[in-house]
């Protein structure tokens, strides 16, 4: 039912946007861009920086220079992370960061195609060659969901699931604590903020492998807390894919 509502909302927004800004990039307001392109033009696309090797084997943080051995960054060495690995499609800067903020906080749902395309381009080829039981979007607390009316992680997970034929499970993991926004918190505060924030029913994940999906990975506090809950419920392995990686 909620997916139908979101679909109708996107249609309504796209219709209104097309009336006022027909095929105009919603970043620069100059270039030509359609709904299919997520209303981001070719020139703005040039600002997107895809993450390529070398990067941290644990959290996907890109590293400048040449490496001949496996690399684990300082962030991973100092934090107890409960996922096996995390990867992100692009760096969370310039156009990407603006789109994510507007998509999430300003109901700019017409950017869905742009963000989903970034994630699918990088994650789908990797996931198709592996076996995973389900994609698990980072859940919102019910109070936050009522305020926002949609979960950006679920939207992205469903697009990735459709591209990879991996099922999406939105019932397995619950956010049980209405946490503060992580945006202005330090690394230590982020980890503390997410302590016991998520839960999964005991035994509900026994022997299964999951991919947690979210929009942005910064320190990994949120996705690690999700992974911890899934591992406590019996998951054999938990990895992470996000659209963007904060530096």
pLDDT at residue 9, as a whole number: 60
Q: What is the mean pLDDT of residues 25-51?
A: 95
- The structure's pTM equals 0.88
Distances (CA, A) of 246 to 40, 61, 217, 218: 21, 8, 6, 5
Distance spanning both ends of the chain, measured CA to CA? 37
Residue 119 lies in a domain: yes
The secondary structure of 12-26 as a DSSP string is: HHHHHHHHHSTTB-T
Q: Which of 42-46, 84-88, 147-151, 194-198 has the lowest mean pLDDT?
A: 194-198
Confidence check: pLDDT of 73 > 90? no
Assess whether pLDDT exceeds 70 at residue 15.
Answer: no
Q: What per-residue confidence (pLDDT) applies to 247?
A: 82
Q: Which residues pair with 211 in a beta bridge?
A: 135, 239
Residue with more model confidence, 53 or 125: 125
d(CA 126, CA 164) in angstroms, rounded, equals: 10
| 20 falls within a domain | no
- DSSP label at 165? T
Determine, yes or no, domain membership for 25: no
Q: Would you say residue 226 lies in a domain?
A: yes
| pLDDT band at residue 76 under the 50/70/90 scheme | confident
- Residue 21 CA, distance from chain mean position: 28
Domain CATH for 90: 3.40.50.2020
Does residue 185 register a pLDDT over 80? Answer: no
What's the domain count of the chain?
A: 1
**Which pLDDT value is given to residue 79?**
76
Domain that holds residue 197: 49-245
Residue 196 has a pLDDT of 87
**Is residue 145 a contact partner of residue 208, using CB atoms and an 8 Å limit?**
no
Q: How far is CA 112 from the centre of its chain?
A: 12
Cα–Cα nearest to 170, from 179, 181, 183, 161:
161
pLDDT band at 116 (very low <50, low <70, confident <90, very high): very high
- At 12 the pLDDT is 61
Q: Is residue 142 part of a domain?
A: yes
Q: Which tokens hold the place of 242?
A: 């996000």
147 burial type by CB count under 10 A (0-12 exposed, 13-18 middle, 19+ buried) = exposed
For 41-74, b/e burial (b = at least 16 CB within 10 A) is: beebbebbbebeebbbbbbbbbeeeeeeeebebe
| 24 inside domain | no
pLDDT band for 3, please (50, 70, 90 cuts): low
Could you give the C-alpha distances from 72 to 59, 187, 243, in angstroms and in order?
8, 17, 21
Sorted by sequence, the CB contacts under 8 Å of residue 124 that are 6+ apart come out as: 160, 163, 164
For residue 148, is it within any domain?
yes
- Residues of the chain above pLDDT 70, percent: 87
User: Per the domain annotation, does 146 fall within a domain?
Assistant: yes
Assess whether pLDDT exceeds 80 at residue 240.
yes
């Amino acid at each position: 039912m909620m997916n139908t509502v979101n679909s109708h909302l996107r249609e309504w927004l796209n219709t209104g946007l097309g009336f006022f800004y027909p095929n105009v990039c919603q970043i620069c307001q100059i270039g030509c861009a359609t709904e299919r392109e997520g209303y981001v033009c070719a020139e703005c696309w040039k600002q997107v920086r895809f993450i390529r090797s070398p990067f941290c084997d644990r959290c996907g943080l890109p590293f400048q220079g040449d490496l001949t051995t496996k690399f684990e960054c300082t962030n991973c060495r100092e934090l107890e992370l409960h996922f096996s690995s995390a990867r992100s499609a692009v760096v969370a800067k310039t156009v990407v960061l603006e789109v994510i903020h507007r998509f999430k906080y300003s109901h700019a749902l017409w950017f869905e195609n742009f963000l989903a395309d970034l994630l699918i381009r990088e994650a789908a080829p990797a996931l198709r060659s592996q076996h995973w039981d389900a994609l698990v979007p980072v859940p919102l607390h019910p109070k936050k969901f009522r305020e926002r009316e949609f979960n950006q992680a679920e939207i992205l997970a469903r697009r990735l699931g459709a591209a990879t034929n991996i099922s999406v499970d939105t019932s397995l993991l619950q956010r049980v604590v209405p946490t503060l926004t992580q945006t202005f918190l330090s690394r230590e505060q982020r980890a503390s903020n997410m302590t016991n924030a998520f839960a999964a029913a005991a035994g509900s994940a026994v022997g299964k492998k999951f991919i947690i999906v979210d929009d942005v990975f910064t320190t990994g506090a949120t996705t690690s807390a999700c992974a911890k809950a899934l591992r406590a419920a019996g998951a054999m392995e938990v990895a992470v894919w996000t659209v963007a990686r904060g530096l």
